[in-house]
Amino acid sequence: MRLISGNLIMTLVFVIYFIALPGYAQQNNSLRLQYYEPADAKVWEQALPIGNGRLGAMIYGIPATEEIQLNEETIWAGGPYRNDNPKAGVNLKKIQQLVFEGKTKEADKLLNETFFTKTHGMPFQTAGSLLINFPGHDSYQKYYRELDIEQAKSISRYEINGVTYTREIFSSFSDDVIIVSIKASKKNALTFDLQYKNPARHTVSAKDNILILEGRGGDHEGIKGEVIYQTHTTVKNVDGLVNIVDNKLQVKNATSVVVYISIGTNFINYKSVAGDAGQQAESKLSAALKVNYSDALESHSKFYNAQFNTFKLDLGKTTAVDEISTTERIRQFQKTQDPSLVTLLTQFGRYLLICSSQPNGQPANLQGIWNNSLYPAWDSKYTININTEMNYWPAESTNLSHTHRPLIQMVKELSESGKETAKSLYNAEGWVAHHNTDVWRVTSPIDFAAAGMWFTGGTWLAQHLWEHYLYNGDKKYLREVYPILKSASDFLLSTLIPHPKYQDKGWMVLSPSISPEHGPMAAGVTMDNQLVFDMLTRTALANEILGEETSYRDKLRAMAKRIPPMQVGKHTQLQEWLEDVDDPKNEHRHVSHLYGLYPGNQISPYSTPALFEASRNSLRYRGDFATGWSIGWKVNLWARLLDGNHAYKIINNMLTLADKDNRDGRTYPNMFTAHPPFQIDGNFGLTAGVAEMLIQSHDGAVHVLPALPSAWKKGSVQGIKARGGFEIDMQWSDALVNTLKVKSVIGGNLRLRSYVPLKGKGLKVAKGMNKNILLNREIGATALVSNQANLKGNNLQKVYEYDIQTTAGKTYSFSINK
Amino acid, res. 587 = E
Q: Give residues with Cβ within 8 angstroms of 421, minimum separation 6.
A: 84, 431, 432, 433, 443, 444
Q: Where are the beta strands (DSSP E) in 129-254?
A: 129-133, 141-148, 153-160, 163-171, 178-184, 190-197, 202-207, 210-216, 228-237, 241-245, 248-254
Predicted pLDDT at 727:
98
Residue 206: the pLDDT is: 96
The domain spans of the chain are: 6-77+126-309, 715-816
pLDDT computed for residue 557 by the predictor: 97
Whether 22 shows a pLDDT value over 80: the answer reads no
Say how far apart CA 534 and CA 557 lie, in whole Å.
11
Residue 735: predicted pLDDT: 86
Model confidence band, residue 549 (pLDDT cutoffs 50, 70, 90): very high
Between CA 335 and CA 205 the distance in angstroms is 54
Complete edge-to-edge strand list for the sheet that includes strand 811-816: 312-314, 715-722, 726-733, 736-744, 811-816, 758-759
Give the mean pLDDT of the chain.
93
pLDDT at 322: 73
* pLDDT for the residue numbered 360: 98
Predicted model pTM: 0.95
Alpha-carbon span 628 to 618, nearest angstrom = 19
Architecture of the CATH domain 6-77+126-309: Distorted Sandwich (2.70)
Non-local CB neighbours of 357 within 8 Å, separated by 6+ positions: 53, 363, 364, 368, 391, 392, 395, 403, 404, 406, 407
pLDDT in tens, 151-162: 999 999 999 999
pLDDT at 6 over 80: no
As a whole number of angstroms, the distance between CA 433 and CA 204 comes to 40
Contacts of 676 (CB under 8 A, 6+ apart): 627, 628, 658, 663
Q: Is the peptide bond before 677 cis (omega within 30 degrees of 0)?
A: yes
CATH class (in words) of the domain with range 715-816 = mainly beta
The predicted model gives 289-298 an average pLDDT of: 98
Q: Identify the band that residue 795 occupies on the pLDDT scale cut at 50, 70 and 90.
A: low
Lowest pLDDT segment from 180-189, 324-333, 696-705, 776-785:
776-785
- Return the number of other C-beta atoms located less than 10 Å from residue 674's C-beta: 25
Q: How confident is the model at residue 323 (pLDDT cuts 50, 70, 90)?
A: confident
